[in-house]
Amino acid sequence: MRKYFLLPILLFSVLIFAQNEPPVKVGAERTDVYFPLLTGKRVAVMTNQTGIAGDEHLVDMLVRHQFNVVGIFSPEHGFRGTADAGEHVASSIDEKTGIPIWSLYGSGSGKPSPDKMKQFDVLLFDLQDVGLRFYTYYASMARLMDTCAEHEKKMIILDRPNPNGFYVDGPILDMKHKSGVGWLPIPVVHGMTLGELALMINGEKWLPGGRVCDVVIVTCENYTHQTRYELPIAPSPNLPNIHSIYLYPSTCLFEGTVMSLGRGTSFPFEVYGHPQYKGSDFSFTPRSVPGAKNPPLLNKKCYGVDLRNISNELIWENRFDLSYVIDAYNNLSMGEKFFTSFFEKLVGVDYIRKDIIAGKSAGEIRQKWASDVDTFKQQRKPYLLYPE
C-alpha cells in the first residue's frame, strides 16, 4: 500500500518545506549591520517610496532613531514615486520630516553639486530596482558612486532582491548608444541586484577615470537568484504589479515605436496597440492619468493585444521576447516609420531593427546575442553576492 501514498506524502512535504522557507530580509531591515556606520555622521539618503523597512519608511525609521539625516536625494519619479517617466522633478521639502529633498532627475548631469556633497559624510542608498538596463535607478546609483568617489565619501547600499534576477538575456549595450536608459555595457536583463552591480562597477572600472567608490553592501538574507520575489510596493507608477514587471523587458521596446504599451490605462506594459492595428477586437484608449499625464496616442482608440492573461511561467520561459514587437511591426506594415530613434537606445544595438525589417524571427535574432549572455555571465561571477 505504501507506494500509493508515497507521492502525496512527498508533495505534502514539499509544500510544508516551501511554506517554512524563511522570508527574504532586505538590507534596510538589517539595522544591526549599518546603524553603527551612521552613528555621529551627517547622513544623506537616496531613496523613494520603495525604501521600506518592515512596515516603516527608511527615512522615518532613521529620524525615529535620531540619526542626523540632512538631505534626501530623489530619482526618476521623485521621492514619493508619483512623477511621470522622464519628468523633471523639482527639489522640495519632505512634509512629514522637514528634511530637504534634492532631486537628481532631470537636472542635467544627474550628479549632486559640490555644495550638496559638502553637507553630508555618508550616503545611504536604498532603491527597489527591477533588473533592466533601461530602468534608470542603476544609472542613478552609478552617478552617485562616481560623485562619492570624487569627494571621498562612503556609500552604503541597502540591497534588495531583483524580481527579474533569475535570468540574463538580451544583447550587451553597444556604448555608442549610451544614454539615460542605457548607461553600462550590460545586457537588457542583467540578473543582478544593485549591490552586485555596484561591486561590478567598481571591479570593472566602469566609473570615469577608473575611479573606485568606497562602498559597503548590506546584503539581503534568505535570497537567491532563483527566488521569485514579489515587490511589496510598486517601484514606479507604470509598473503596478509583478505581471507588468515580468513583461517589462519585452514590452518596454514599444517605447521606441509608434505603438502604445498602455500608458494612460490601468494596465501599462501589459498590452500593446495602435489605432491602425488590424484584426483585433481588443481595444483601449490612453487617458491623462497620474504618472502618465501625456501618454503616447492620448485619447486615441487603440486596437491590439491584451497580454494580461499570459501566465508568469510562459513569460519566464520566453524571457526577453521580440515576438510582440515583430507582430506589431508586421501588422502595421509601416516599414521604417514603425520605429523611432529611441529604439536603439532601448535595445542597445543596431542589428535588431535591421533584422526585424528583414523579416527575421525572434528566435533567429536571439541567436545573435547568445554569446553576449554567456560572456556577461562569466564576467559578473566574481561580483555575485547570492547563490545562482
Q: What pLDDT, in 10s, does the model give residues 126-177?
A: 999 999 999 989 999 999 999 999 999 999 999 999 999 999 999 999 999 9
How far is it, in rounded angstroms, from Cα 40 to Cα 31? Answer: 15
- In this structure, is residue 347 part of a structural domain? yes
What are the distances in angstroms from CA 343 to CA 12, 177, 330?
48, 10, 16
Whether the pTM exceeds 0.85: the reply is yes
SS3 at position 302:
strand
Domain that includes residue 340, residue range: 242-357
**Residue 60 sits in the same domain as residue 207:** yes
pLDDT at 12: 43
Output the pLDDT for position 237.
86
Name the packing angle between helices 194-203 and 137-150 (round to 10°).
Answer: 50
Strand 68-74 to strand 100-103: parallel, antiparallel, or no bridges (unpaired)?
parallel
CA distances from 16 to 13, 37, 229, 296, 302 (A): 5, 39, 19, 47, 46
User: 231, 255, 281 — which closes off a domain?
Assistant: 231
Write b or e for each residue in 298-310: b if 16 or more Cβ atoms lie within 10 A of its Cβ, otherwise e.
eeeebbbbbbeee
Of 354, 361, 349, 358, give the one whose Cα is nearest residue 322: 361
Looking at residue 93, its pLDDT comes to 85
Residues 223 and 342 in one domain: no
Answer yes or no: do 41 and 158 share one domain: yes
For 129, residues 6+ apart whose C-beta sits below 8 A from its C-beta are 135, 137, 138, 160, 162, 193, 194, 235
Q: Point out the least confidently predicted range of 18-27, 42-51, 189-198, 271-280.
A: 18-27
What is the count of structural domains for the chain? 2
Whether 183 and 274 share a structural domain: no
Whether 305 and 164 share a structural domain: no
Please give the Cα distance from 274 to 297 (Å, whole number): 8
Query: Residue 52 domain-assigned?
Result: yes
Do 55 and 134 share a domain, yes or no? yes
DSSP assignment, residue 25?
A: B
pLDDT at 80 over 70: no
d(CA 76, CA 103): 9
- Grid cell, residue 21, equals 522557507
Is residue 158 a part of any domain in this protein?
yes
181, 250: one domain = no
| Residue 19 maps to a domain | no
Q: Is residue 22 part of a domain?
A: no
Residues 6+ apart with CB under 8 A from 181: 133, 134, 136, 345, 346
- Structural domain contains residue 11: no
pLDDT of res. 332? 98
Residue whose entry in the numeric block shows the C-alpha cell 550587451? 172
341 shares its domain with 216: no
* CA-angle at 195, arms to 53 and 200, nearest 5°: 175
DSSP string, 211-247: ----EEEE--BS--TT--PPPSS-SSTT--SHHHHHH
